[in-house]
Chains A and B, each alone.
Chain A
Amino acid sequence: MEKFTNAHIHVFTGDCAPDSFLKVIPISLVRKFPRRLKWLIQTRGVRSLIVWFASWGSRRDAQLRNTVEKYISFLEIGTTATQLEIFIKGFKVAKSYSASPRIVALPLDMDYMDEDQEIVMNYNTQLKDVKRIKKYYPDNFFPFLCVDPRKHQGENMLRWARKFFTRGIRSKESEKVHPFFSGIKIYPALGFFPFDPALDELYAFAEEHGLPVMSHCTRVGSQYVGKNIRSLIPQQPAMIGVPGHPDYEQARQEIIDRIARYDEKGWLKYTTAKNNDYACDLFGHPQNYVPVLLKYPRLKICLAHMGGYSEILKLKKGPDEVQEVDQKNWFGLIKEMMQQYPNFYTDISYTLSGLQAHKKLSRADARFIRSEINAFLDTPVQSTGEADEPIGKRVLFGTDFYMTEQEAREPELYQMAREHLPQWFKRMAGENCERYLGF
């Protein structure tokens, strides 16, 4: 039986997010009244109206429209289905490619997304439900454990997390033993740095036990929407790493300088209008992983989405103000890091939707994205000692279901990958994922 894995889907529901979740949409009215809007969106008719108005109102700003529709889509599925039902939707599509596909589901701990808001289904409850799905689909459902250093730190975090990886069940069908959780998910944009020393013990445990780490890596997406952003970003944040190592020192200095530049721009100040849009980029920046990769060279870290296809388009259209202040293109930086660190991965989820023109993406742009991704996959490794191997061997197949519903339906994403990346599709979903997950 051919091994097939979708390494990136989400099953969490709207109940797992705070009521102020909609603040991530860059529209001032939405940011002022996120709870009322969420209440409205939960009505089917109102949802359709909002999609129509959003498309009309943001017709000249594809990125804005994209963001609005993405979150409407999220709420559409997220408010009408359970985690199990969402998983089954994604699983059914993957079944067309393999009799027993593996689906990596990435829960999200949104308990600290906004300190002022309560969450209906807090993270502990979300995890209990996720474990239930694992019990029903032990050979197909492979959840990662999302961690947040504001909830648990150091040894406490390890004590809390360990049981999720060291307890499990035996599948009645395959008779294989599976731990409940197969990896670690981090989502720094929710308000912490991946080099936070509170994560040190967990990284060490993950390296020792071959647990892969998956992290979100695009400039847009869910983010911390609370008012205490300034206190989360000190001028010189504490950092794990290898002091004295030239790469570590360089990365550290560049990270500190970047924080200072963002501060000068006034991007670290909370306002209802800006709502941490730029500040949260500092958390998920690819360079933040350099200290971790240096300290834990055997730890498999995957920065999802290749940095996002909007970063790829900046190579064509030129850098915008954010990139000028940042001084890095995330897509380019991920490529450089993959050449340098042998256990550094990325996945093609979400960015897949840029392989083909759609209502928000011109044909010329899609063609450019396709050529850039193909070139990325074929880029030879330079300094990791993997002779004659392109970095595509460390690119995973994923779809980011169900966040991509407005760009393309799940079966279309599979089809796009197969059509536009014919040499890589099976490899990404097969041996690359196997190696990453340690199967």
Chain B
Amino acid sequence: MNILNLPILEILISMVFIFALLSVLVYSLVEWYNHKTKARGKMLKDSIYQMLDDPLNANYGALLYLHPLVRGTVNYKNNRPPQYLDSTLFAEALIDIISRQWEDEGEEVGIVVNTDGSKEFDLKPDPAKPELHKLTDRELFQEGMARMSDSPFKELLESFCRKSKGRPELILLIRQWFDSQQDRVSGWYKTKQIPKNWVFAVLVTLFLNVDSFYLYQVVAENKGIRDGLVSMAMQADSTVLQKEAQEQIQWSLDHLGQTNLPLGWNKDIAPLSWWSKDQPTKPESKALQYHYRRNFKPQWYDYALYVFGLFFSMLMLSFGAPFWFDTLNKLINIRKAGKKPQAVHTPTPKTTNS
């Protein structure tokens, strides 16, 4: 007997596929919520504001978002901040803002107040001030920094300036700094998704009445349903997670519709069936008696099992769609038992003749 053809593996694949389908719903709802609340863009904005906050001078993050290079990426229709910012664009905009502090200082103005209270103004150019076109980009950046009060942020910029010989190197250093910060922000962002995953896992579980224990019972007993699920699971493709939320939901609902699983709310399935007046007669078949009892004549442990089934579903769905697709892929690989893992090109170690 081949262990890989045992029903337990099919049941596992079926259950994991069910969780994957439902998790796609959770995943797309979380993404939809993030889109509506501009969560990704706001987090990026907050992180940049924090990075560039200099209370002794200005919040350069706020100024960066007003800079045409970044402002141009804002969706004007709904004022949606950019979800991603290219590190080169970030560096270019920041260098420009700092450099412009020199130019934005303006010129000395001579003021004459006339006897009638009117005023006349004239510029008093500073002969010691270098002309703009005679300065290199790096010098302009230094002049801009010189207009800042001493602060930790200024010291950081000075250190970048010291380490670089020209604009390309300066850009590279700022890009590296930005990228390392953004790696951390990605971590924070993922952490922030956990409570949202939970909330939408609860909603999907309740909305579709997902009792994992009962689903297990149905899948374990019904070979037809199981085969259908395994067949769909073999064709499932995790690239669905890269599609639009609407397509993800459609994909998930289409597949759930083909499974014939006891999901949703109707008077033939617990808990609505508990109050249904149209109760069927007790079936003769022993196999069907469990379903009859669970749905129409529940004992106290059926209630408890139902509630635990819901909680278990919530917990499973909160793991997220990527986790379930990953698990599904591993199980399918086991079932195929001959399928080679994707080829990973590794350089052949050099042999040395000593």
Contacts of B60 in A (CB 8 A): 125
Chain A residues numbered 108-146 whose CB sits less than 8 Å from any CB in chain B: 120-122, 124-125, 128-129, 131-132, 135
**Assuming A438-B119, A439-B118, is B104 touching A132 (CB within 8 A)?**
yes
Contact for B106 among A79, A125, A180, CB less than 8 A = A180
Q: State whether the Cβ of A149 lies closer than 8 Å to any Cβ in chain B.
A: no
Contacts of B78 in A (CB 8 A): 44
**Is B71 in contact with A82, judged by CB distance below 8 angstroms?**
yes
Residue of B whose beta carbon sits closest to that of A435: B117
**Is B106 in contact with A168, judged by CB distance below 8 angstroms?**
yes
Residue of A whose beta carbon sits closest to that of B59: A125
Chain B residues numbered 13-37 whose CB sits less than 8 Å from any CB in chain A: 37
Q: State whether the Cβ of B334 lies closer than 8 Å to any Cβ in chain A.
A: no
Contacts of A131 in B (CB 8 A): 104, 106
**Is A128 in contact with B109, judged by CB distance below 8 angstroms?**
no
Chain B residues numbered 84-124 whose CB sits less than 8 Å from any CB in chain A: 104-109, 111, 113, 117-119, 121-123
**Is A168 in contact with B58, judged by CB distance below 8 angstroms?**
no
16 residue pairs of the A-B complex, CB under 8 angstroms, read A43-B37, A82-B71, A125-B63, A128-B58, A131-B104, A132-B66, A165-B111, A166-B108, A167-B107, A167-B109, A169-B107, A177-B123, A179-B109, A209-B119, A210-B118, A438-B119
Contact for A124 among B58, B106, B113, CB less than 8 A = B58
**Is B113 in contact with A209, judged by CB distance below 8 angstroms?**
yes
Q: State whether the Cβ of A159 lies closer than 8 Å to any Cβ in chain B.
A: no
Residue of A whose beta carbon sits closest to that of B36: A43
Q: Mark A193-219, 1 if CB is under 8 A from B, else 0.
A: 000000000000000111000000000
The smallest beta-carbon distance between A354 and chain B, in angstroms, is 31
Residues of B whose CB lies within 8 Å of any CB of A are 37, 49, 55, 57-60, 62-63, 66, 71, 78-79, 104-109, 111, 113, 117-119, 121-123
Contacts of A125 in B (CB 8 A): 58-60, 62-63
Contacts of B109 in A (CB 8 A): 165-168, 177, 179
**Is A166 in contact with B63, judged by CB distance below 8 angstroms?**
no
The smallest beta-carbon distance between B262 and chain A, in angstroms, is 36
**Is A122 in contact with B107, judged by CB distance below 8 angstroms?**
no
**Is B63 in contact with A129, judged by CB distance below 8 angstroms?**
yes
Contacts of B122 in A (CB 8 A): 177
Complex Cα spacing A121 to B58, Å? 8
The smallest beta-carbon distance between A418 and chain B, in angstroms, is 27
Contact for B117 among A82, A178, A210, CB less than 8 A = A210
Residue of A whose beta carbon sits closest to that of B62: A121
Residue of A whose beta carbon sits closest to that of B42: A42
Complex Cα spacing A131 to B37, Å? 32
Q: State whether the Cβ of A412 lies closer than 8 Å to any Cβ in chain B.
A: no
Complex Cα spacing A438 to B113, Å? 8
**Assuming A135-B104, A167-B109, is B59 touching A121 (CB within 8 A)?**
yes
Residue of A whose beta carbon sits closest to that of B79: A80
Complex Cα spacing A195 to B18, Å? 73
**Assuming A82-B66, A167-B108, A168-B109, is B57 touching A124 (CB within 8 A)?**
yes
Contacts of A179 in B (CB 8 A): 109, 111, 121
Residue of A whose beta carbon sits closest to that of B113: A210
Contacts of B106 in A (CB 8 A): 131, 167-169, 180
**Assuming A82-B66, A129-B63, A209-B111, is B105 touching A167 (CB within 8 A)?**
yes
Q: Mark A161-186, 1 if CB is under 8 A from B, else 0.
A: 00001111110000011111000000
Chain A residues numbered 47-88 whose CB sits less than 8 Å from any CB in chain B: 79-80, 82, 84
**Is A129 in contact with B119, judged by CB distance below 8 angstroms?**
no
Contacts of A168 in B (CB 8 A): 106-107, 109, 121, 123
Contact for A438 among B59, B104, B118, CB less than 8 A = B118
The smallest beta-carbon distance between A68 and chain B, in angstroms, is 23
The smallest beta-carbon distance between A119 and chain B, in angstroms, is 9
Contacts of A165 in B (CB 8 A): 109, 111
Contacts of B108 in A (CB 8 A): 166-167
The smallest beta-carbon distance between A127 and chain B, in angstroms, is 8
Contacts of B55 in A (CB 8 A): 122
Q: State whether the Cβ of A365 lies closer than 8 Å to any Cβ in chain B.
A: no
> Of residues B60, B63, B78, B109, which shows the largest number of chain A Cβ atoms within 10 Å of its Cβ?
B109
Complex Cα spacing A165 to B104, Å? 14
**Is A170 in contact with B104, judged by CB distance below 8 angstroms?**
no
Complex Cα spacing A176 to B109, Å? 11
4 closest A-B pairs (Cβ-Cβ)? A125-B58, A177-B121, A210-B113, A167-B106
Q: State whether the Cβ of A263 lies closer than 8 Å to any Cβ in chain B.
A: no
Q: State whether the Cβ of A372 lies closer than 8 Å to any Cβ in chain B.
A: no
Complex Cα spacing A179 to B63, Å? 22
Q: State whether the Cβ of A254 lies closer than 8 Å to any Cβ in chain B.
A: no
**Is B111 in contact with A129, judged by CB distance below 8 angstroms?**
no
Complex Cα spacing A34 to B121, Å? 45
Contacts of A132 in B (CB 8 A): 66, 104
Complex Cα spacing A120 to B59, Å? 8
Residue of B whose beta carbon sits closest to that of A121: B62
Contact for A122 among B37, B58, B79, B118, CB less than 8 A = B58
Complex Cα spacing A292 to B55, Å? 32
Contacts of A167 in B (CB 8 A): 105-109
> Of residues B78, B104, B117, B122, which shows the largest number of chain A Cβ atoms within 10 Å of its Cβ?
B117
Complex Cα spacing A80 to B109, Å? 35
Contacts of A435 in B (CB 8 A): 117
Residue of B whose beta carbon sits closest to that of A39: B37
Complex Cα spacing A129 to B49, Å? 15
The smallest beta-carbon distance between B266 and chain A, in angstroms, is 33
The smallest beta-carbon distance between B324 and chain A, in angstroms, is 31
